[in-house]
Chains A and B, each alone.
Chain A
Amino acid sequence: MTEPTGTSKDDQEPTGGKQSSAEASGAATEEQRTRGGEPPREGEVEQSADGAADTSPEGGTRLAPTRERRGMFGVRGTGDTSGFGGLTLPGYAPAPAERPYGGWFDELADELADALDRNGIARSAVRQITIDRGEITFYVERERILELCRLLRDEPALRFELCSSVSGVDYTAPDGAEVRQPLHVVYQLLSMTHRRRIRLEVALDVADPHVPSVVEVYPTADWHERETWDMFGVIFDGHPALTRILMPDDWEGHPQRKDYPLGGIPVEYKGAEIPPPDERRAYS
């Protein structure tokens, strides 16, 4: 239970980094559970408790953890005789970073907080800051993503002039366990002036997959957003022509959603029948 990652049980943990997610995430989930188990509803603003909120743009609702994993081997539907089938590994929620962030992260967070104030954008636009494996992620309120991108591009101290990539992630649990706001849109931004990379992330409900388009700030996001619509069904409001890009125009469904089957047929190899990949036993 204390080892949510379980990479290596008897070897040394390779996740020894200072801001490592592994232990912190367990703590965050724990924290949320002790708070009454009721995850905060959408729109309800939960202010961050620590005093660092003065200089940090961070504030707002915390992120929901992803799926719980059960059993040491993650085997479902077969006779797991190991006795470890009852283990429950808590879901992973990215842990909020604590000051000092280290490196240029502090400077960037301060500049962003100043810029938000100057432009009259509430600091709660940034829900959470996470630093993991040397990369900084800003979890953003979806209504603010366009303003925030414009700010990040135009402010001289920030100057993220290149949008490397926009894509989706579907955190829906394969076993149907409930995950709040499982649909994420991820923006990778690059500042060539300051040689920095950051990631913006927006969490969405599957029932309401709308997000403002950033094409007017980053024209390169055009195809990226079309691909994210095509693959994940995220609707980018304000996109000039949100049509499918990789799948045929008349395709139904969004293939990279977790509830969309991979497909495939069983194949025979040396007399044995091998099931298609999504029906094979998974160990996770």
Chain B
Amino acid sequence: MSTDPYAEARETTEGTVYTVTGGDWDSLLDSVSTDEHDDRIVINMGPQHPSTHGVLRLVLELEGETVTQARSVIGYLHTGIEKNCEYRNWTQGVTFVTRMDYLAPLFNEAAYCLGVEKLLEVEAPRRAQLIRVLLMEINRIGSHLVCLATGGMELGALTGMTAGFREREEVLHLLEYLTGLRMNHAYIRPGGLAQDLPEDWKEKVTDFVKVMKSRLPDYDKLLTGQPIWKQRLEGVGYLPVDGCLALGATGPILRSAGLPWDQRKIEPYSCYEEFDFEVPTATEADCYARYRLRVAEIHESIRIIEQAVQKIEPGPVMVEDRKIAWPAQLSIGSDGMGNSLEHVRKIMGQSMESLIHHFKLVTEGFHVPPGQVYSCVESPRGELGYHLVSDGGTRPVRVHVRDPSFVNLQTMPAMSEGGMVADVIAAVASIDPVMGGVDR
């Protein structure tokens, strides 16, 4: 006879039959059925639950199926990136910050580099700025697609998931071709870019735009008008504009409440003022509005990409100042990526000074004048801000990231309390938190 409390056994004519129950559910029900707990139970969702966006833990107090209180517990993905940046030089910081919000790596790089450039009081060349815009918008499409895909999966729209990840794969393929890596690119550097785009980038980007234009209408067919999708999202996760401002929510959450706040329009950076695009807004302030805004933003991103392809002209992609410009004449060597032999031959044969400069720039890094700046960009999730402090040395004193996921996740209780358990999932999906950014 088994004594396993979760596999109750009873004898039948066919032999022993075990009834396997889940975890401590029975004892939980027993304790709830006695009146002392007032029919309220507290349950943990996650960390690591298929519908909690990674290692996020939700603590829900339930009365029947109604959520009376909800709290999120974070920190499971804390990697100390901010502290690590203080022990590397300013250029090496790029490889750290790109790993924070891993769905929007290029936004992290761009915001960080804009901050460093502000501290240095230099401006990246025009070609580099436009390429940054191009890459950021491609990245925005990828990030929103993942939001739609995982959101669809969490709500049971599994075809939405496969479709979303299929298109996102196109984005990653393109980014790999343009920057060399699918994620964690470290392509945008203080002063410009690590290197120029490959020669036939224009064709690749144009092909990508064509593919996206043919496939995006599928999302409208698959999700936008679908009755189940609408029923799950409409009127769910409501957060009006005053709630957004009090809780600091930005990005699609704020715009779904009717405030057209977009850093690209308000405080244009990287030549965004030259681009013609709309900031989609809605007034319903619910999950469905946020879903529609994300789809609309993908369309706007495609518009920006098309304009960027027209605007980008040949030119340098790194500042002229050789005291800042990282020597990156890269080629694929026997040990992966390295400076090309041709370049090494040149700096070693040409002059002793350039060799010394190369060496000092790589080992020491460049000095950044003391002071502090706050630079922010519009990431797919809202205001992504970098507070950078320098004391004049070659390493940051402080790199603080105002990650929109971290701030937006605070709105989860306001969106979920009083609703059903299933609506918590919809609300979290519409916040679109990326735990790498939340925990940093």
- The CA-CA distance from A255 to B351 in the complex, in Å, is 45
Picked from B247, B395, B400, the residue with its CB within 8 Å of the CB of A165 is B400
Any B CB within 8 A of the CB of A124: no
- The CA-CA distance from A132 to B247 in the complex, in Å, is 29
- The CA-CA distance from A132 to B388 in the complex, in Å, is 13
Query: At the interface, is chain A mostly helix, strand, loop or mixed?
Result: loop
- The CA-CA distance from A244 to B75 in the complex, in Å, is 9
- Which residues of A (15-57) have their CB < 8 Å from a CB of B? 15-17, 20-22, 25
For residue B86, which residues in chain A have a CB less than 8 angstroms away from its CB? 262
Q: Is the CB of B367 within 8 A of A6?
A: yes
Which of B75, B245, B400, B406 has the most chain A CB within a 10 Å cutoff? Answer: B400
Q: Is the CB of A15 within 8 A of B121?
A: yes
For residue B246, which residues in chain A have a CB less than 8 angstroms away from its CB? 218-220
Any A CB within 8 A of the CB of B368: yes
- Which residues of B (329-369) have their CB < 8 Å from a CB of A? 363-369
- Please, what's the 1-or-0 string for A140-178, where 1 marks a CB less than 8 Å from any CB in chain B? 000000000000000000000111110111110000000
How far does the Cβ of A132 sit from chain B's closest Cβ, in whole Å? 5
For residue B370, which residues in chain A have a CB less than 8 angstroms away from its CB? 4-5, 21-22, 25, 66, 92
Which of A25, A164, A186 has the most chain B CB within a 10 Å cutoff? Answer: A164
How far does the Cβ of B71 sit from chain A's closest Cβ, in whole Å? 10
Any A CB within 8 A of the CB of B209: no
Any A CB within 8 A of the CB of B5: no
- Which residues of A (75-102) have their CB < 8 Å from a CB of B? 89, 91-92, 94
Any A CB within 8 A of the CB of B277: no
The count of residues in chain A whose C-beta lies closer than 8 Å to any C-beta of chain B is: 65
For residue A248, which residues in chain B have a CB less than 8 angstroms away from its CB? 75
Stretch at the interface among B38-46, B156-164, B371-379: B371-379
Q: Is the CB of A69 within 8 A of B266?
A: no
Q: Is the CB of A188 within 8 A of B121?
A: no
Q: Is the CB of A223 within 8 A of B406?
A: yes
- Please, what's the 1-or-0 string for B392-421, where 1 marks a CB less than 8 Å from any CB in chain A? 111101101010001101100000000000
How far does the Cβ of A206 sit from chain B's closest Cβ, in whole Å? 16
Stretch at the interface among B51-59, B76-84, B134-142, B219-227: B76-84
Any B CB within 8 A of the CB of A118: no
Any A CB within 8 A of the CB of B303: no
Picked from B118, B393, B400, the residue with its CB within 8 Å of the CB of A284 is B393
Q: Is the CB of A11 within 8 A of B321?
A: yes
Which of A91, A135, A223 has the most chain B CB within a 10 Å cutoff? Answer: A223
Closest to B400 in A: A167
- The CA-CA distance from A91 to B78 in the complex, in Å, is 33
How far does the Cβ of A104 sit from chain B's closest Cβ, in whole Å? 13
Which of A66, A92, A165 has the most chain B CB within a 10 Å cutoff? Answer: A165
Q: Is the CB of A69 within 8 A of B368?
A: no
How far does the Cβ of A11 sit from chain B's closest Cβ, in whole Å? 5
- Please, what's the 1-or-0 string for A66-78, where 1 marks a CB less than 8 Å from any CB in chain B? 1101000110000
Any A CB within 8 A of the CB of B248: yes
Picked from A164, A169, A170, the residue with its CB within 8 Å of the CB of B248 is A164
Any A CB within 8 A of the CB of B232: no
Any A CB within 8 A of the CB of B212: no
Any B CB within 8 A of the CB of A274: no
- The CA-CA distance from A168 to B391 in the complex, in Å, is 15
How far does the Cβ of B332 sit from chain A's closest Cβ, in whole Å? 19
Any B CB within 8 A of the CB of A120: no
- Which residues of B (110-139) have their CB < 8 Å from a CB of A? 118-122
- The CA-CA distance from A231 to B26 in the complex, in Å, is 41
Closest to A220 in B: B248
Closest to B247 in A: A220
Any A CB within 8 A of the CB of B151: no
How far does the Cβ of B358 sit from chain A's closest Cβ, in whole Å? 15
Q: Is the CB of A89 within 8 A of B385?
A: no
How far does the Cβ of B78 sit from chain A's closest Cβ, in whole Å? 4
Picked from A6, A67, A197, the residue with its CB within 8 Å of the CB of B374 is A197
For residue A17, which residues in chain B have a CB less than 8 angstroms away from its CB? 121
Any A CB within 8 A of the CB of B426: no
Picked from A135, A192, A247, the residue with its CB within 8 Å of the CB of B373 is A135
Q: Is the CB of B78 within 8 A of A247?
A: yes
Closest to A89 in B: B392
Report if A14-B87 is in contact (Cβ < 8 Å); known contacts: A167-B387, A199-B374, A220-B410. no
- Please, what's the 1-or-0 string for A186-212, where 1 marks a CB less than 8 Å from any CB in chain B? 101000100101010000000000000
How far does the Cβ of A263 sit from chain B's closest Cβ, in whole Å? 9
Report if A164-B376 is in contact (Cβ < 8 Å); known contacts: A171-B397, A283-B364. yes
Q: Is the CB of A8 within 8 A of B323?
A: yes
Q: Is the CB of B118 within 8 A of A255?
A: no
How far does the Cβ of B375 sit from chain A's closest Cβ, in whole Å? 9
For residue A22, which residues in chain B have a CB less than 8 angstroms away from its CB? 369-370
Q: Is the CB of A69 within 8 A of B387?
A: no
How far does the Cβ of B370 sit from chain A's closest Cβ, in whole Å? 4
Any A CB within 8 A of the CB of B383: yes
- The CA-CA distance from A245 to B409 in the complex, in Å, is 13
- Which residues of A (226-267) have their CB < 8 Å from a CB of B? 231, 244-248, 255-256, 262
- The CA-CA distance from A166 to B393 in the complex, in Å, is 24
Any A CB within 8 A of the CB of B259: yes
Any A CB within 8 A of the CB of B272: no
- The CA-CA distance from A121 to B74 in the complex, in Å, is 38
For residue B366, which residues in chain A have a CB less than 8 angstroms away from its CB? 7
Any B CB within 8 A of the CB of A272: no
- The CA-CA distance from A92 to B373 in the complex, in Å, is 15
- Please, what's the 1-or-0 string for B173-204, where 1 marks a CB less than 8 Å from any CB in chain A? 00000000000000000000000000000000
Any A CB within 8 A of the CB of B423: no
Any A CB within 8 A of the CB of B70: no
Any B CB within 8 A of the CB of A282: yes
Picked from B74, B87, B389, the residue with its CB within 8 Å of the CB of A262 is B87
Any A CB within 8 A of the CB of B297: no
Any A CB within 8 A of the CB of B439: yes
For residue B374, which residues in chain A have a CB less than 8 angstroms away from its CB? 135, 164-165, 188, 197, 199
How far does the Cβ of B380 sit from chain A's closest Cβ, in whole Å? 17
For residue A21, which residues in chain B have a CB less than 8 angstroms away from its CB? 369-371
Any B CB within 8 A of the CB of A114: no
* Contact sample, A vs B, 15 pairs, CB 8 Å cutoff: A15-B121, A25-B370, A66-B397, A133-B371, A133-B373, A137-B372, A161-B245, A165-B400, A171-B391, A186-B387, A199-B372, A199-B374, A223-B407, A255-B80, A255-B83
